[in-house]
Amino acid sequence: MSETQRKAPVDCYTGDPELLPVVEARARIDALLTVVSGEERVTLREALGRILAEPIVSSVNVPGHTNSAMDGFALASTDLPRDGTCRLRVLGTAWAGRPFGGRVAPGSAVRVMTGAVMPDGTDTVIMKEQVEEQADAKGELIVIGGGHRAGQNVREAGEDIALGARLLDTGTRIMPAELGLIASLGIGEVRVLRRPRVAFFSTGDELRCAGETLAPGEIYDSNRYTLFAMLARLGVEPIDMGVVRDDAEAVRNAFREACAAADVVISTGGASTGEADYIAETLGELGEVRFWRIAIRPGRPLAFGRVGDALFFGLPGNPVAVMVTFYQFVQPALLRMMGSREAAANPVIRATCVSRLRKKPGRVEVYRAILERDADGRVTVRSTGKTGSGLLHTMSDANCFILLPEDGETVEPGAEVDVQPFYGLV
Ligand code: AMP
Ligand code: MG
């Protein structure tokens, strides 16, 4: 390694002709992606968060029967008074799950509860608050007035889901609404795609695991925890391979073991040009390197390639850079491998930035930021402050990224910027 390579200039981005534009890096990742093969049948609850391997087509109407939307009285609309009032005899009661057996002749009504099947001969429900209840020697009567509409307060069979409707496509992620929807059809098991297996390890002689005692100069490994959490939330199968020492042979062994066990391998640290950085070198030796330096900050040293059938992402070591590069490059790739159709739908919104954001042309810059509403209800976004890529607490303070494009310059307060929120409601 030459002296100039080892000593990075103050701004290590300037004058590096090999920095790959972000769009080109994404294209090179896309070129190697395939959806994992393999499906499994799981019970409904196990299907939460999984990707459907089959479309869901309704074999029933939901609701299955035309039913009352209110507690009240069911009658034939032909009995509604044109003017004045009319009196109807109450023949009995229909409960949700316990239909009224007989037929309702003209001049009569049936008391109905919400969800009760509409009795034969009726098509309209009047709320119980809108009738006057009476009784005579033969039983109950109701008096109804004007202002009602034929067919009111009735839910039609198939109104939510029609028999034969294609409800969910292959590639849909099963979220709470989908889980309920599938259950409402009476389906108890579904076919889902296999989860990609993702092995990950940290590299660094300075790293200790939480719970161990630190020697001078050592630090606790946090990347394996953020990575585990990001992978688990995404719904892949995480395989934790521990900490690997900064030693060529140890790194080679970790590569071999991880690539044999997983569809995707992720390492952190050791991806730049320091003397203890073996990742890019080992990737080239055991597989092929597609790129390893990107025009993005934070996250510049990112080695990507393939070893055998496994894809390899060598992420930077700094904890914020790990999260930024995971969300910008690895997560979209994993979503596509998972077979999810949501891969392209990572929402980016526009918001007014109230901070000044320094920006150099020639690289994408990702700021940690807070998206909020100001006193006037306007959606604004502001930087969390310090931008060091080792400051993990700023990721915890943030609720979004601000993405500044490669060709953009410094952002002055009041300008609109692209924002990627961390969380959705569901
Ligand atoms: P490296 O890319 O290996 O030179 O690491 C860059 C910086 O990130 C160094 O300060 C490392 O100590 C730190 N770092 C690397 N890996 C981890 C990790 N797993 N957890 C916390 N910090 C790390
Ligand atoms: Mg290191």
**What average pLDDT is seen over the chain?**
94
CATH assignment at residue 58: 3.90.105.10
Whether 426 is covered by a domain: the verdict is no
Please check whether residue 153 is in contact with residue 124, taking contact to mean a CB–CB distance below 8 angstroms. Answer: yes
- The parent domain of residue 416 ranges over 349-421
| 88 lies in the same domain as 107 | yes
| 50 lies in the same domain as 186 | yes
| 188 lies in the same domain as 198 | no
* Span 218-264, pLDDT tens digits: 999 999 999 999 999 999 999 999 999 999 999 999 999 999 999 99
The β-bridge relationship of strands 197-203 and 237-244 is parallel
| 126 lies in the same domain as 229 | no
Domain boundary among 155, 183, 214: 155
Q: Determine the residue of 219, 226, 395 to mutate for testing ligand 1's pocket, defined as the one with the most ligand atoms within 8 A of the Cβ atom.
A: 219
| 96 lies in the same domain as 206 | no
Predicted TM-score of the model (pTM): 0.88
Q: How many domains does the chain have?
A: 4
Domain boundary among 319, 343, 367: 343
Residue 421: which pLDDT band, with cuts at 50, 70 and 90? very high
* Span 10-68, pLDDT tens digits: 444 555 667 999 999 999 999 999 999 999 999 999 999 999 999 999 999 999 999 99
* Span 165-186, pLDDT tens digits: 999 999 999 999 999 999 999 9
Is 119 a pocket residue for ligand 1 (Cβ < 6 Å)?
no
Buried b (16+ CB within 10 A) or exposed e, 170-190: ebbbbeeebbebbeebeeeeb
| Mean pLDDT within 409-413 | 97
| 302 lies in the same domain as 404 | no
d(CA 364, CA 404): 6
C-alpha 317 to ligand 2 mean position (Å): 6
d(CA 172, CA 163): 20
CA distances 14 to 17, 19, 268, 360, 367, Å, are 8, 9, 24, 9, 19
The closest of 315, 367, 339 to 25, measured between CA atoms, is 315
**pLDDT above 90: percentage of residues in the chain:** 91
d(CA 4, CA 159): 71
Is residue 343's pLDDT more than 90? no
CATH assignment at residue 149: 2.170.190.11
Q: How many CA atoms lie within 13 A of 333 on its CB side?
A: 26
The alpha carbon of 151 is separated from its chain's Cα centroid by a whole number of angstroms, namely 40
Q: What tokens were used for 17?
A: 């002709």
| 95 lies in the same domain as 165 | no
Q: Which residues have their alpha-adjacent CB atom under 5 A from ion ligand 2?
A: 204, 269-270, 317
The one-letter code for the residue type at 138 is K
Please check whether residue 240 is in contact with residue 227, taking contact to mean a CB–CB distance below 8 angstroms. Answer: no
| 257 lies in the same domain as 335 | yes
The closest of 338, 333, 371, 375 to 355, measured between CA atoms, is 371
Is residue 9's pLDDT more than 50? no
Whether 376 is covered by a domain: the verdict is yes
| Mean pLDDT within 111-122 | 98
